[in-house]
Structures are given as structure tokens and as C-alpha cells.
Structure 1
Amino acid sequence: MVSEVSGRQVLDASDFAMLLENCSSAYGDYGENESDSCCTSPPCPQDLSLNFDRAFLPALYSLLFLLGLLGNGAVAAVLLSQRAALSSTDTFLLHLAVADALLVMTLPLWAVDAAIQWVFGSGLCKVAGALFNINFYAGALLLACISFDRYLSIVHATQLYRRGPRARVALTCVVVWGLCLLFALPDFIFLSAHHDERLKATHCEYSFPQVGRTALRLLQLVAGFLLPLLVMAYCYARILAVLLLSRGQRRLRAMRLVVVVVVAFALCWTPYYLVVLVDTLMDLGALARHCGRESHVDVAKSVTSGLGYMHCCLNPLLYAFVGIKFRERMWMLLVRLGCPGQRALQRQQPSSFRRDSSWSETTEASFSGL
């Protein structure tokens, strides 16, 4: 999301002599056959990626902002309306909705950055970048917490949060948010509003050497993607093994849901991290760098990052709206806000309404003995 100032490779004497010999014009004068010979070393023209970002990112971020804020806001409102009866999974879901909502709230700032330039100053650059990454890490780690909680309850019939649930759930959430704050320290330190003389624009960018950029990418890859994905894959694989041995439509629905959970997370974020891996290999010299490839990688990062942020909008659908109890609670909230048919719907409220988790048939089945 945040622009990176890595200072692409520095030209040594021989590279500089070759550049002078083969390139007779400035950045914008590359011909079709000149690009490969002139751009084996940076800097490269960024017209393609910049024009694409100006056209693509503002519209995408605006759409994700609206959908993510509405969806996650609805989840948070429903769960808070029943906060006295929240289960451990509901509590993790509430924190997940807050993390996703805060993340998408930063997207309008990045839309302005992509469309024009960063006009908000270095202070807001640091805060917005840190807020974005804190909630990015929190979303992934909270998904892992939900997976582990369900794994214990279904596979081992162990309720980690059933005794003293409030204290244990609260402690887990504090640890998650604390780790995310720690992971976001580079944003507070190295992010700033940087004026690029070549582009004649100011952008919110990192200002650290190549080794710092590579280390930050590895941290995001491991803590924000690989570790949560491995936890989810293992937990849900064991859950599926248990559910396949049982019968009944409710358990079959739960089985489909847990498959969708892992697949959605993997499909949304895997393309982005594959592109980041290619870009990192180019920075390290493992892959040859030239202007054409660099431009295509920059465009691919914009497209795949947008796909990843779309996961924030999918979370309310995957973790809430497919749950019977959640739909009942949301309907009752709308009724209390003045929708027609209030008395009839209140009479139809099930007796088990306050005892079950609100978000999925899997959690219901694990406690009901079906």
C-alpha cells in the first residue's frame, strides 16, 4: 500500500558509462528497442504504473471503503447489541470487524495519494501508514485465533475460553494488538511525505535502505500471510476430518464454510505476495531487472493489493452473514430500530437465541452435539 523508497540499484562506473553511450535522451525518450539496453539499471520511467494507479486505485479504494465500512459496521453493531452474551468467537469477530473497518478507513487517503499526491503532511503519513498496517496484521492474526478456538472446541472438545472467558479472550486480544503495534513501528519511524523531484510530486513513502525494505517485506510475508494461513489450514483440515465422520445437513454446511474461509484468504492474498516475491528477487539481483518488467510488476502490485484489500469486505459475508444466528440478531436489531413487524418477530425469537454463537453453524454444531 505505502510507497517504497528503496533507492533502486546504484549505478557503478561501468554502468554509468554504458548508460551515457547507449542512451542519448532523458527518461521519457525511450524507444521501443532502446528500453532493454537503456534500462538494465534504474532509474526507469514510471509512466505506465503511475497512469494506471491514477485511473484504477481511486475508484477501487472508494468502492472498498464504502463496502468495507458498511459491512464491518453492521457486524460490529449487531455484536455490540448482544455484548452481554458474546462467545469467544463472537469477541474475536468483533475485533476483526473493527480491524477491517479501521483499515478501509485509510483507503480514501491512499486514493488521494494515487490520484494526485500526498497532501496531508508527514505526521498523518506516519499515522495512516501505521494504522493501515496495524489493522492489516490484526485481521490476519485474529483469523488465526478464530481458527484455533474452533479447532480446540471441535477436534479436542476443549473450551479454552469457557472458564473465565472474558479475561482470557481479553488477554488474547491485547497480545494480538500489541504484536501488531510492534510490527508497525517501522511506519512510525521511516514513513514520511517525500517529494520526488523526478516525478514532481509528493508521496507518503518509506525512506530506508534496501536491506530495510527486504526485511519489512519478509515480516509482512511471514506474520501477515504465511503464519496465519498455516494455522488456518492446519486447524480447518483437522476440523474437516472430524466433520466428515459426522452426518447431517448442518455439519455439511459447516464443512463448506470452513473450506471457503481458507480458500478466500488464500485467493485474496496469495497473488499479491507472489508479485512482492518477484519484486524482492529483482531487488536482490536474483532476477534480471529492466524497465518493461519493472513497470509490469508495479502494475501487478496495484491490482493484487486491491484484491487483497477486498478480503476486508468479504469477512462480514464469510464470518457473519452466512450464520443463521447472526441473521436473526441483525434482523432483531433492525426491528428495534423501527422496522415493521416488530412484535411478530419478537414472538418468533428462539429460546436458544442468547446461548449460541452468532456467526456460524460450525460453532453451533460443536456445542449442540449434533
Structure 2
Amino acid sequence: MVPEMSKYQVVLEASDWPFLQENYSSSYDFGDNETDVCCALPPCLQDSTQSFNRAFLPALDGLLFLLGLLGNGAVAAVLLSQRESLSSTDTFLLHLAVADVLLVLTLPLWAVDAAVQWVFGSGLCKVAGALFNINFYAGALLLACISFDRYLSIVHATQLYRRGPPVRVTLTCVIVWGLCLLLALPDLIFLSAHHDERLNATHCRHNFPQLGRTALRMLQLVAGFLLPLLVMAYCYARILAVLLVSRGQRRLRAMRLVVVVVVAFALCWTPYHLVVLVDTLMDLGALARNCEQESRVDVAKSVTSGLGYLHCCLNPLLYAFVGIKFRERMWMLLTHLGCSKQRRHQRQPSSHRDSSWSEITEASYSGL
């Protein structure tokens, strides 16, 4: 998920051409007979892609940074203000908010990288890249944990975390974070600030061969998207089947919510992973590559990655702000902090460990 540079993303000058003719060899040679034809062609110019990224990515990253920080910060503040009575869903949501905040905190660094160059050194390059991917994986896996928790509560009437020892949900979160750290090890090892003399710029990029890049992309596709999406789709499909049988206004609201949850995740991240899959197939030679197609794919990666990062800003809306009790507790917190001059009558939240962040949780704990 760390921003990538095309292997052909260079700016050529007249003096570079003799050097390229002598030293350049393509990764896409298909036999000895085609080598001369391949290697007689210059790398693709990427001026239009570079210009687009310089204009588009810093503005988008800055906007998502502000929205994600404010939204997820509000969720974390409200949850922490009620930490004595957090349910399992609340705990997962708190960790999800923390993951999203840590992810968007890296966006200004990537904005600088896209607009100018990487000026922060190799150490921060490794940390920022690993932090970004740790929280990318954590966001997806925590959503899967939430869906599995709801699935057990509604479909099987088994409240694994609610009636068990509190350490269970904590242990689950520790396992999730540990797995995400393991998945981000390639970033800690292979990321570095690399100076390109012909570009006359330094960028934070992975330093491994094509095979390593393909393997890392497949890992992100499977562990960060396909598996969590399959878990959510299965769990919420079973939940919907139960909710459709037991009708009622509250359950209908829950049905709408679970559909929005899985659809939002799929819509935000599917385009990016499809574009990366196309780019990988082009790298492997399964799809034909030319300069026009390469430029389109590079621009598409920039646009769809921004759509994926937008999911971090949607999480507070999908999992928190749709809940009536969340709005009540948010108002109470603002009033307590002196940020609100008007008071209104509010029902005090119950002391039992019911989640107050979504209708799906309320429905599951109401005798469904």
C-alpha cells in the first residue's frame, strides 16, 4: 500500500539515450528473438502521471487527513469516556478508530513525497511505510472481527466476549495487532529512501526485485482485502437471513446497516485492488503493456488508492454516528467539556455492557 513508482517512471534527457541503449534491459523480454526489438525501445515517459500525482495526491491526502483525524478522534474520545462499560463491539471499534487515526497520520508524509520528494530519511521511510500497512491490515481484520462477533450473537445466540472473561476481547485485539505487525515486516526490511539521479529526486520505495513486489501485492490482496471481505460477506449474509425472518422496525434498521457496512468496504477497496491486479498481470507479461496503458494504470492507482483511504473517514459514520446512543454520549461529552451552551434532557445510558454504537448490536442484545 505504500505509494509505488513505476519501473519506467523516468524523465529522459537527450544525454540519457546512449546510456539507455547500452545498459537498459527490459523485464518483459519474451525470448532471445525479441530482445533486440524490446531493448531498442526507450522507457515510457511519465510526465503526465507525475504532474497528475503532484496536483491530486497532496490535496486528497490533506483532506482525508483532516476528516479521518476528526472523525476517528471523536469516536475514540467518546469510547474512552465510557471505557468502564465497553462491550466487545465497542472495544473493537476503539481499536479500529486508533488504526484509522494512525493510518491517516502518515498521509501528510506521502503527500510531501508525491508533491516534492521524500525528505525524511530512510528511518522514517521504514517506520511510516510499516505504520501505514499495519493499520491498513488492522482496519480490515478488525472489521472482520466485528462481523464475526455480530454473527455469533445473532445467528447462534452465542456471545463469546460478552459473557466470557474480559481478557478474551483484549487477547483477540493483541493477536490482530501482532499479525498486522508480522505482515508489515517487508516494509521494515525493504523500504528505504532511494535517490534517482535522472529524476533528481528521492522517494520512499521498496528495494527488492520484481518477484518480491508481486508477492507483496498478492499478500495485500489476500490478507488485507479478500479474506476480510469474505468473512464479512458470509457473516452479514447469515445475519440478514435471520433478520429477514424476524421482522420489526429495529431489525429492519439493523438489516440496512449491515448491508451498508459490507458494501462500503467493498466499494472503497475493490477498485484499487482490481487496478493493482491488472498492473501485476502486466508486470508478469499476462497482459500486454504499452506506454499509454501504463500511464492509465498509474493514474488509476492514484485515484483508487484515494478512494480506499476514504474508507477510514467512513468508518466513524458507519459504525458510530448512525447510533442514537452515540450521539447522546457525544453531546454529554461536549457538555461536560463546556463545548455546548445549551442543554437538553437526555436518558442516561444503561450500566450493562451493551454496545451503543450501532443498531445491529442493539438488535442482537434485545432478545433476537
Fold match, TM over 0.5? yes
Which has the larger displacement, 190-199 or 173-182?
A: 190-199
Aligned residue number for residue 124 of structure 2: 124
Unaligned runs of 5+ in 2: 9-25
Aligned residue number for residue 286 of structure 1: 286
**Which structure 2 residues correspond to residues 161-240 of structure 1 after superposition, within 5 A?**
161-240=161-240
Q: CA deviation at 1:87?
A: 0.1
* Amino acid across the alignment from 1:106: T
Aligned residue number for residue 19 of structure 2: none
Q: CA deviation at 1:44?
A: 1.5
Contact 1:73 1:101 in 2 (8 A): yes
Work out the CA distance in 1 between the residues paired with 2:292 and 2:122: 32
Deviation string 1:320-356 (CA, Å, 9 cap, x unpaired) is 00011111111111111112244x53xx324536543
Q: CA deviation at 1:84?
A: 0.2
Q: CA deviation at 1:16?
A: 6.0
Work out the CA distance in 1 between the residues paired with 2:159 and 2:39: 69
Work out the CA distance in 1 between the residues paired with 2:231 and 2:38: 49
Instruction: Give the alignment partner of residue 352 of structure 1, picking from 340, 350, 353.
Output: 350
**Which structure 2 residues correspond to residues 75-86 of structure 1 after superposition, within 5 A?**
75-86=75-86
Correspondence 1:367 to 2:368: no
**Which structure 2 residues correspond to residues 41-120 of structure 1 after superposition, within 5 A?**
43-120=43-120
Q: CA deviation at 1:248?
A: 1.6
Aligned residue number for residue 299 of structure 1: 299
Q: CA deviation at 1:46?
A: 1.3
Deviation string 1:172-231 (CA, Å, 9 cap, x unpaired) is 000000000000000011000011123221100001011101110010000000000000
* Amino acid across the alignment from 2:294: E
Contact 1:325 1:356 in 2 (8 A): no
Deviation string 1:99-139 (CA, Å, 9 cap, x unpaired) is 00000000000000000000000000000000000000000
Aligned residue number for residue 37 of structure 2: 18
CA gap of 1:50–1:165, structure 2 versus 1, over 3 A, is farther
Contact 1:75 1:316 in 2 (8 A): yes
Work out the CA distance in 1 between the residues paired with 2:251 and 2:351: 19
Contact 1:190 1:208 in 2 (8 A): yes
Q: CA deviation at 1:247?
A: 1.9
* Amino acid across the alignment from 1:203: H
- TM-score, normalised to structure 1's length? 0.90
Q: When the two structures are aligned, how many residues end up with a matched partner?
A: 348
Correspondence 1:340 to 2:341: yes
Aligned-pair identity in percent equals 81
Contact 1:136 1:224 in 2 (8 A): yes
Which has the larger displacement, 287-296 or 313-322?
A: 287-296
* Amino acid across the alignment from 1:109: L
Aligned residue number for residue 34 of structure 1: none
Deviation string 1:252-277 (CA, Å, 9 cap, x unpaired) is 11100000000000000000000001
CA gap of 1:5–1:268, structure 2 versus 1, over 3 A, is closer
Contact 1:195 1:203 in 2 (8 A): yes
Which has the larger displacement, 350-359 or 109-118?
A: 350-359
Work out the CA distance in 1 between the residues paired with 2:39 and 2:351: 75
Q: CA deviation at 1:7?
A: 5.0
Q: CA deviation at 1:6?
A: 7.8
Deviation string 1:136-164 (CA, Å, 9 cap, x unpaired) is 00000000000000000000000101234
Deviation string 1:37-93 (CA, Å, 9 cap, x unpaired) is x46xxx211112111100000000000000000000000000000000000000000
Work out the CA distance in 1 between the residues paired with 2:119 and 2:248: 57
Correspondence 1:271 to 2:300: no
Aligned residue number for residue 257 of structure 1: 257
Work out the CA distance in 2 between the residues paired with 1:355 and 1:167: 15
Q: Secondary structure at the match of 1:204?
A: strand
- TM-score, normalised to structure 2's length? 0.91
Contact 1:6 1:210 in 2 (8 A): no
Unaligned runs of 5+ in 1: 22-37
Work out the CA distance in 1 between the residues paired with 2:354 and 2:39: 72
* Amino acid across the alignment from 1:300: A
Contact 1:322 1:360 in 2 (8 A): yes
Work out the CA distance in 2 between the residues paired with 1:279 and 1:288: 10
